[in-house]
Structure 1
């Protein structure tokens, strides 16, 4: 009975910790960077458009060094999409093509046709249309990608009903194991006239630790993942509600991204606890079997 309870508890605990650790790793390595990358790409594309119009309004096109900001923003948008290509299952081909066309039109308007006002205006209007056209423009397509990616992040961080059920099974099995170990300890001591069994005592202490430490760690990790998802929602909202200054929105997104990174760092601690839990679970199965086996060997088998 002891070995059966220990096996059930260890298996349920192992599966639960493993799933939480996988969720934390997936959110930190894939989902969060993808959400952040899409937000950064959107803001960079919008800021590039704004910077070019500032140059035109101030008659600064052609002035040495005047176009560095919009060119750096276009480069940042392109790099943002490239970085998240392997972190999302969504198709980025259309968005990449739109960004390339938008970059060409904006660059032509700001550079090649800077001395031809009519052609310059046509190219800049074309770029703005490619950027904002309802439903098919670069920004609306990025909005759609952001919505889907945020849902993926929320689903990754959430603890489902099956996972909660496995946790309950693990905790109930550990409680039953602790109760059975206590009963076995008192039976051996009071009814069989034996000293406290060191193996069963160690198994009982280990069972208590397994019931408390992984649960506390998983709870802290889940809180961190919840905060991280909340930060990703804020990042998405900031990038989609850009005021007259995309640069300010970029600063806020950068700050919230740092907070999200700190929240997902709890996954590293969860990984260490998961490895310790695996070792402890194996010991929780082995110690009762070893303790009772040695007791039977001394009390019964050697007399045969």
Structure 2
């Protein structure tokens, strides 16, 4: 009985703690990182479109660059937040962003009256943005893939996690059957009433088998939903880039809509992952219940044996 209690409670606490830590890691680091990369990418695409639009339609007009400059600022802020949530080296990306901002600003504002140099600056900016493998967008793609892999690992329960829950539930079943057997022996063979200590331990065993499992199921469902929404965020960013390349008609509307969808979906992800403040309560409740499940049978049987011993004397 004691061995079954130790195995059951240990497996249960370790398995539940892994799920809680995964939810915390996804909520505090992986999910915001995916969102920040997508926001950076869309802000850069929007800045590039706005700068080219200024060049073609408002060349030389004072304050015409406010729109793309605000997008560059948004991209820089997203990267700053990302640096706090990932161990990846963002030095190269930050350097490319600074160079891109300098080139696009020079072309749109400072060389608007010198078309050849202006065109050269825009070509430089375009190369910095989309050049194969080494441009800003390809580097952000690689970074996004890494962050999504990390989010997938946190949100998905692997074979080891399932094994832990199976071991915990089987050990709790063995413990419950052992307690029922002990109650039956005391009741029918020893002529005793149902032992309240063993009954309390049986009720706690059933609670340990049900409550943490339900809590894990709810948490895992939220993790799955959050992972799906993060996938949607990355898809929106990539699809919008492809669409604006193929058809520049209403590109501003598409980019604006994509940024809005990413922002809205990010809020939904945060909502999915914020509904777990009770996780620690369930964990410590299971810890306390596990200690009682170990102590109550020993106390009940000990008291019964002690009472019978003194009666026999």
The interval holding the TM-score normalised by the smaller chain is: over 0.9
Deviation at 1:59, TM superposition (A): 1.8
Report the aligned-residue RMSD: 1.5
> How far apart are the structure 2 equivalents of 1:291 and 1:93?
64
1:237 aligned residue (235, 238, 263): 235
Q: Please say if 1:284 is aligned against 2:298.
A: no
How far has the Cα of 1:270 moved from its partner?
A: 2.7
Partner of 1:50: 49
- Aligned equivalent of 1:172: 170
Structure 1 position 97, deviation (Å):
1.0
Tell me what 1:255 maps to: 264
Answer yes or no: is 1:24 the counterpart of 2:23: yes
Distance 1:264 1:70 in 2: 33
Offset of residue 268 of structure 1: 2.5
Segments of 5+ residues of structure 1 without an aligned counterpart are none
2:219 to 218, 221, 236: 221
**1:12 corresponds to:** 11
How much does 1:159 deviate? 0.9
Question: TM-score, structure 1 length as denominator?
Answer: 0.95
Match of 1:274 in 2: 283
Match of 2:116 in 1: 118
Shift, 1:103, TM fit: 1.0
Structure 1 position 294 matched with structure 2 position 294: no
Per-residue CA shift, 1:222-243, capped at 9, x if unaligned? Answer: 1111111111111011111113
**In the alignment, is the contact (CA less than 8 A) between 2:186 and 2:192 conserved in 1?**
yes
Between 1:15-24 and 1:262-271, the stretch displaced more is 262-271
Q: Which moves more between the two structures, 273-282 or 212-221?
A: 273-282
The answer for the alignment partner of 2:148 in structure 1 is 150
Q: Does the CA contact (< 8 Å) of 2:59 and 2:108 recur in 1?
A: no
Decide whether the 8 Å contact of 1:62 with 1:114 is kept in 2.
no
| Matching residue of 1:81 | 79
Structure 2 unaligned regions, length at least 5: 244-250
| Residue among 102, 105, 118 paired with 1:107 | 105
| Higher mean C-alpha displacement, 13-22 vs 103-112 | 103-112
Which residue pairs with 1:246 in the alignment? 255
Contact map agreement 1:10 1:281 (CA 8 A) in 2: yes
Q: Quickly say closer, same or farther: Cα 1:292–1:82, change in 2 above 3 A.
A: same
* Displacement after TM superposition at 1:149 (Å): 1.1
Corresponding residue for residue 2 of structure 2: 3
Q: Distance in 2 between matches of 1:301 and 1:19?
A: 48
Q: CA deviation at 1:35?
A: 0.6
TM-score when scaled to structure 2?
0.92
Q: Which runs of 4+ in 1 moved over 6 A?
A: none
CA contact (8 A) 2:59 2:112 kept: no
**1:268, 1:30 → 2: CA distance?**
17
- CA–CA separation in structure 2 for the residues paired with 1:252 and 1:128: 25
Partners of 2:70 and 2:311 in 1: how far apart? 82
CA distance in 2, matches of 1:114, 1:303: 107
Following TM superposition, by how much is the alpha carbon of 1:36 offset from its aligned partner in structure 2, in angstroms? 0.6
Assess, with a 3 A threshold, how the Cα gap between structure 1 residues 301 and 132 changes in structure 2: closer, same or farther. Answer: farther
User: Over residues 11-68 of structure 1, what are the superposed CA-to-partner deviations in whole Å (9 max), with x where a residue is unaligned?
Assistant: 110100110001000010111011111000101111111111111221254334x322
Within 5 A, what are the aligned runs for 1:56-95? 56-59=55-58, 61-64=60-63, 66-95=64-93
